[in-house]
A = this chain, B = another copy of it.
Amino acid sequence: MTILDANRLFPADVAARRVAAKLYEMVKDLPIISPHGHTDPRWFAENGAFPNPAALLIQPDHYVFRMLYSQGVSLESLGIPQLDGKEHADPREVWRIFAKHYYLFRGTPTRLWLDYTFENQFGLKKRLGPDNADEYYEVVAKALETPEFRPRVLFEKFNIEVLATTDTPLDTLEFHQAIRASGWKGRVVPTFRPDSVIDAEYAGFVENIEKLGEIAGEDVGTYKGYLNALRNRRAFFKTMGATATDHGHLTALTADLDAGAAEALYQRIVSGHSSPEEQQLFQAQMLTEMAGMSVEDGLTMQLHPGSVRNHNKLVYEKFGRDKGADMPSPTEYVRAMRPLLSKYGNDSRLTFIVFTLDETAFSRELAPLAGHYPALKLGPPWWFHDSAEGMMRFRETATETAGFYNTVGFNDDTRALLSIPARHDVARRIDCAFLGRLVSEHRLDEDEAVELAMDLTVNLVKKAYKL
């Protein structure tokens, strides 16, 4: 008896399922390309053991603890670290709480990822529940002590060809340096994410800019010097293997100010006394500047807009950022991105990948834009939409206008190392399910579906991220 069925996520219909299964057979063992995510480079630099099952699978995973929290389980009882340093939950107790509430994940992607992980990484083939919580805990804890569960071995076992982390311009990339120095052959590359020196609302923003100047050896007293500092750090990231940048903004607004206005705005921003409107305009201006630098240096540019961060004041004050309390909001693209696209959208040297948390934008705005501008590509379903239904809706709403070839394959976007193969497996299955339906409805020939399955799994992502 196993948790996982070989045909899971394929259409129930026999004809469509047959095609989906055939396509999946061809792509399931292809290497994993992970061009965007949030794993910790330190893991691969130090290659230490993960401490315990709760610290591995529950405490770092906001998908998991946000659901438990929504049903009245306190974050304290789950051992989520508090800002004042308190945290003393027994990992075995945390695990029992989790197991007791595992039914809450029915129908969610978290459930699919965890079941996959339990069966494939730990050989656990009976569904988790309160009755076998301790058994699960023992098996996982024991496994974590073995050499087979060290980060580098997992990386290789998962058949990861390349894995990108996400890093600030202030980062010295010491762990990336250590990985290289170690002689280990796994390809772990950084991604240039400058939010902390672009978003004036970021904690320590003014100090961050000063630090940026120091680390880059540029005078950040002027806008030109600030831009040069960023240019300098991008070059450094490139030498360390980076092929992409990433930007997390509240909106997709872009701007194209003239030199004088941009300089004046920059001075207001670094003065520490700017208005929210000025801060937003500065972010908008910087997206266009970053696109210009990407044209110069070839780094692929990513934009993740539309998340209202730290929505829950109480949770934020006690536990800090990234605690499952960021919320999507309606996001406009057509007018917002016009300044950037007017300036660089026709330039094929730029690859500008846009994501969304507002699925309505796919058919209305993003697919029409990506189906026209040479520089623009559609990122895969992000975050809450990185799910079976979300991925299917993406294909259904974007493909007819943008085609498959203005998309860029899958991003796992995860902090959870063990979930990487599970997430790529779901993505491959859903793509095959969609293609299977198109073939069974005679909208696509089977030989084309085969080629597409390969392209969606490997080729498009390599091309978009220059990997």
Contacts and interface: CB of A to CB of B under 8 A. Distances in A.
Nearest to A19: B12
Interface residues of A, number: 90
A70 B372 contact: yes
Nearest to A376: B70
Contact of A71 (B342, B405, B445): B405
For A106, A341, A357, the residue with the greatest tally of chain B CB atoms inside 10 Å of its CB is: A106
Contact of A403 (B104, B314, B365, B400): B104
A451 B127 CA distance: 15
Interface string A401-416: 1111110000000000
A292 interface: no
A306 to B, nearest CB: 9
A397 B360 CA distance: 12
Contacts of A399: 107-108, 389
Contact of A313 (B315, B342, B387, B440): B342
Interface stretch (A36-44, A220-228, A293-301, A331-339): A331-339
A69 B360 contact: no
A351 to B, nearest CB: 11
A429 to B, nearest CB: 10
Nearest to A107: B399
A416 B463 CA distance: 34
A238 interface: no
A246 interface: no
For A358, A400, A405, the residue with the greatest tally of chain B CB atoms inside 10 Å of its CB is: A400
Number of copies: 3
Nearest to A371: B70
Contact of A106 (B72, B311, B325, B403): B403
Nearest to A71: B405
A401 B384 contact: yes
B106 A448 contact: yes
A106 B404 contact: yes
Interface in A309-367: 311-315, 324-325, 327-330, 332, 334-335, 338, 341-342, 345-346, 348, 357-360, 363-365, 367
Contacts of A358: 360, 364
Contacts of A348: 72
A379 interface: no
Nearest to A392: B396
Interface stretch (A1-9, A133-141, A177-185): A1-9
13 contacts: A11-B12, A70-B370, A70-B374, A70-B406, A106-B444, A106-B448, A112-B443, A308-B335, A312-B341, A314-B346, A327-B334, A327-B365, A329-B335
A-B CB proximity, top 9 nearest: A8-B442, A5-B442, A12-B440, A387-B400, A107-B399, A12-B16, A327-B334, A12-B13, A72-B348
